[in-house]
Structure 1
Amino acid sequence: MFDLHRLRLLRELKDRGTLAAVAAALSYSPSSVSQQLSQLEAEVGVQLLEPVGRRVRLTPQAEILVAHTEAVLERLERAEADIATSLTDLTGTLRIASFQTAALALVPAALTLLREAHPGLRVHLTQLEPEKSLPALLARDFDLVVAEEYPGVPSPRPTGLEQEDLCADPLHLALPEPASDAGSDTESPTAALRALADRPWVMEPTGTAARQWAMTLCRNAGFEPDVRFETTDLLLHLRLVERGHAAALLPGLVWDGRPATVPLRQLPRGQRARRLFTAVRSGRSHHPAIRACRRALRQTT
Structure 2
Amino acid sequence: MEGSEVRQSRDLYSAPRAVSCNRITGGYTAVHAVLPARNTRVLGWSHPPPTRGCVLTTEVAMPLESDTDISLDLQTLRIVRAIAETGSITGAARALGTTQPAISQHLHRAERRLSMTLVVKQGRSVELTDIGVLLSRHAGGVLDALQAASIELAGAANLRSGRVRLVGFPSASSTIVPHLLSGMRERHPGVMVQYTESEPPEATELVVGGDADVGLVFSYPGERNPTHHPDPPRGLWTADLFVDPLFVLMSRDHPLVDLPRLPLEDLEDDPWIAGCPRCSTHLIRACEAVGYAPNIVYETDNFSATVGMVAADLGIALVPRLTLGTTLLPPNVAVQKLDSEITRTISLLVPATKLTLPAVAALTDAITAIDGMIWRLRTAGDLRGRTHNADRRMHDERRYNVTPS
1:289 aligns with 2:359: yes
Among 163, 171, 185, the alignment partner of 1:101 is: 171
* Structure-2 separation of matches of 1:131 and 1:294: 20
Counterparts of 1:121-270 in structure 2, within 5 Å, are 121-156=191-226, 157-180=232-255, 182=256, 184-186=258-260, 189-190=262-263, 193-206=264-277, 208=278, 210-256=279-325, 262-269=333-340
Query: Distance in 1 between the 2:359 and 2:306 partners?
Result: 34
RMSD of aligned Cα (Å): 2.5
* TM-score calculated relative to the size of structure 1: 0.63
Q: The residue matched to 2:267 in structure 1 has which SS?
A: coil
Q: CA deviation at 1:84?
A: 7.6
- Any unmatched runs of 5+ in structure 1? 1-82
Question: 1:245: Cα distance to partner?
Answer: 1.9
Contact 1:101/1:234 (<8 A) preserved:
no
Distance 1:92 1:280 in 2: 17
Identity %: 25
Q: CA deviation at 1:85?
A: 9.6
State which drifts further: 146-155 or 127-136.
146-155
Give 1:7's aligned residue. Answer: none
In 1, Cα distance between equivalents of 2:224 and 2:260: 31
Superposed displacement of residue 286, structure 1: 2.6
Which structure shows the bigger proportion of residues in helix conformation? 1
1:201-233 CA distances to partner (integer Å, 9 max, x unpaired)?
Answer: 111244x2x222210111223222121222233
Go from structure 1 to structure 2 and tell me whether the alpha carbon gap of 1:278 and 1:219 turns closer, same or farther (over 3 Å shift). Answer: same
Deviation string for 1:129-176 (max 9, x for gaps)? 001110121111111110001123242332221111221112112223
For 1:247-296, what per-residue CA distance to the aligned partner results, in whole angstroms no more than 9, with x for missing partners? 11111111226786632332353x43211011011221232222322333
Mean Cα displacement is larger for which, 111-120 or 233-242? 233-242
Which sections of structure 2, spanning at least 5 residues, go unmatched?
A: 1-152, 227-231, 373-405
**3-state secondary structure, aligned to 1:146:** strand
Give the TM-score, by structure 2 length: 0.48
C-alpha distance in 1 between matches for 2:271 and 2:154: 52
User: What pairs up with 1:47-58 in 2 under 5 angstroms?
Assistant: none
Contact 2:155-2:161 within 8 A present in 1 as well:
no
For 1:91, which of 135, 138, 161 is the aligned residue?
161
For 1:94 and 1:105, how far apart are their aligned partners in 2? 19
| Residues 118 and 293 of structure 1, relative CA distance in 2, 3 Å threshold | same
**Which runs of structure 1 show a deviation greater than 6 angstroms over 4 or more consecutive aligned residues?**
83-86, 257-260
Mapped to 2, the partners of 1:120 and 1:212 lie a distance apart of 42
The alignment covers a number of residue pairs equal to 212
